[in-house]
Chains A and B, each alone.
Chain A
Amino acid sequence: MSNYSRSSLRSPLGRVRALGSARHGAMHWWTERLTSLALIPLSLWFVISLLTTLLGAEAQGVAAWLSSSFTALLLAALTLIGFIHTKMGLQVVIEDYIHCECKKIATTLFKDTCCYALMALALAGIAKLHFIGL
Chain B
Amino acid sequence: MARPQDQRPLSPHLLIYRPQNSSVLSILHRITGVILSFGMILFATWIWAAAYDAQYFALIQQLAGSILGKLALISWTACFYYHLGNGIRHLNWDMGRGFSLPEMTRSGWLVLLFTASLTIFTWAIVIRKVGF
Query: B-contacting residues of A (Cβ < 8 Å)?
Result: 33, 36-37, 39-40, 43-44, 47, 51, 55-56, 59, 62-63, 75, 79, 82-83, 86, 89-90, 93, 114-115, 118-119, 121-122, 124-126, 128-129, 134
Contacts and interface: CB of A to CB of B under 8 A. Distances in A.
Contacts, number: 85
Interface of B: 30, 33-34, 36-37, 40-41, 43-45, 47-52, 54, 57, 80, 84, 87-88, 90-91, 94, 122, 125-126, 129-130
Contacts of A43: 80, 84
A41 to B, nearest CB: 11
A36 B52 contact: no
Given A51-B122, A90-B34, A90-B37, A122 B44 contact: yes
A62 B50 contact: yes
Contact of A125 (B50, B84, B88): B50
Main secondary structure of the interface of A (DSSP, over half): helix
A118 B43 CA distance: 9
Contact of A122 (B33, B34, B48): B48
B44 A47 contact: no
B51 to A, nearest CB: 4
Given A121-B44, A125-B49, 12 more contacts: A33-B94, A36-B87, A37-B91, A47-B122, A55-B129, A56-B130, A83-B44, A90-B33, A121-B48, A124-B48, A129-B47, A129-B51
B33 A89 contact: yes
A53 to B, nearest CB: 11
B91 A33 contact: yes
A75 B44 CA distance: 11
6 contacts: A59-B51, A79-B44, A89-B33, A114-B41, A121-B47, A125-B44
A83 B45 contact: no
The 3 A-B pairs of least Cβ separation, nearest first, read A118-B44, A125-B47, A125-B51
Given A36-B87, A118-B41, A55 B126 contact: yes
A63 B49 CA distance: 11
Given A40-B84, A43-B84, A124 B129 contact: no
B43 A122 contact: yes
Contacts of A56: 129-130
Contacts of A129: 47, 50-51
